[in-house]
Amino acid sequence: MKNRGARVALLGIFIVMLPFFAFSSRKNKIFVNTKSFGNQTGSSERPFKTIAQAMKEADKDSQIHIANGTYKENIEMKKGVEIFGENKKHVIIESSNKEDSVILMRHKDRINKVTLMGGKYGVKVKGDAKVFITDVIIKNNNKDGIIAEEGDVRNERKVSISKSEIMNNGRTGIFSHKRRLSIMDNNIHDNKSDGIDIEQNSNAWIEGNDVKDNGASGIKVRIDGYSIEVKKNNIRDNNREGVEVEFDGKAGRV
């Protein structure tokens, strides 16, 4: 009977503690609406007016949910923060400083369903950051749509770009220094230079993209040191090569 009593007591403790553990694992949701006014707490009922306010309150377990509207800001992501727009065509983040990136991503960040425009770059990814860029529109930036700084090629530091439209940027759609990359199911078109440009010593998987009407090559890769996989892409009507491969004599594979 004593053992049975101990089991019942432990079960009671577990039941009491379970809601706490369930609650502690939830993401901290912060809401933003450009039409907000009055007392702003970041709740769904009293959202912040700017993304910068939400980012200031965010931590690594935060999701920032953005209502439709135009936000004239430059955003520096905190590590581990996720951004979700209500509708990618109607959540527009327009750079307030044309000499800066619209969004700077650090590590374990995620952006979804927003339009990024009017900056030096649409997105700048810091070295060694693992980030996810999904279902966004990146257009009309002065230089590259996305630029990734040199970083580690381990899978734990991968830059993932998927289901996005990257267009009308002043230089390259996606430009990456040495990185591990996954570029899948994007529409990359009408950029002034190459659609995709990847520097040597990178490891990249490029699949299912529509790469067309860019001012130079559709895809340009330097294969020295690592391998580039290019599979099931639609590459057409670019002003130079469909796929341009360069190397300096070091072993590599495309």
pLDDT-derived band at 237, boundaries 50, 70, 90:
very high
Name 132's Cβ contacts closer than 8 Å, sequence gap at least 6: 109, 110, 111, 160, 162
pLDDT reading at 4 higher than 70: no
pLDDT reading at 22 higher than 50: no
Name 127's Cβ contacts closer than 8 Å, sequence gap at least 6: 149, 150, 151
Q: What angle do CA 152, 157, 158 make, to 5 degrees?
A: 105
Identity of the amino acid at 57: E
Identity of the amino acid at 224: D
Coil, strand or helix at 16: helix
Mean pLDDT of 64-71: 98
Mean pLDDT of 208-234: 90
pLDDT: which is higher, 23 or 176: 176
Q: CA-to-CA distance for 66 and 87, rounded, in angstroms?
A: 9
pLDDT-derived band at 5, boundaries 50, 70, 90:
very low
Contact 156, 179 (CB under 8 A): no
pLDDT-derived band at 250, boundaries 50, 70, 90:
low
pLDDT reading at 3 higher than 60: no
Question: Roughly how many angstroms between the first and final C-alpha of the chain, as a whole number?
Answer: 70
In percent, the amount of the chain with pLDDT more than 70 equals 86
Note the pLDDT of residue 201: 83
Our measurement of the distance from residue 64's CA atom to the centroid of its chain's CA atoms, rounded to an integer in Å, reads: 14
Note the pLDDT of residue 70: 98
Burial of 9 (0-12, 13-18, 19+ CB in 10 A): exposed
pLDDT reading at 13 higher than 50: no
Identity of the amino acid at 30: I
pLDDT reading at 214 higher than 90: yes
Note the pLDDT of residue 15: 40
Coil, strand or helix at 161: strand
Beta strands in 103-190 (DSSP E): 103-105, 109-112, 115-117, 123-125, 131-134, 137-139, 146-148, 159-162, 165-167, 174-176, 180-184, 187-189
Query: In this structure, what token pair is assigned to residue 213?
Result: 């009407």
pLDDT reading at 118 higher than 90: yes
pLDDT reading at 127 higher than 50: yes
Q: What is the pLDDT of residues 140-181, one digit of tens each?
A: 999 999 999 998 777 778 999 999 999 999 999 999 999 999
pLDDT: which is higher, 11 or 113: 113
pLDDT-derived band at 26, boundaries 50, 70, 90:
low
Q: CA-to-CA distance for 184 and 181, rounded, in angstroms?
A: 10
pLDDT reading at 187 higher than 90: yes
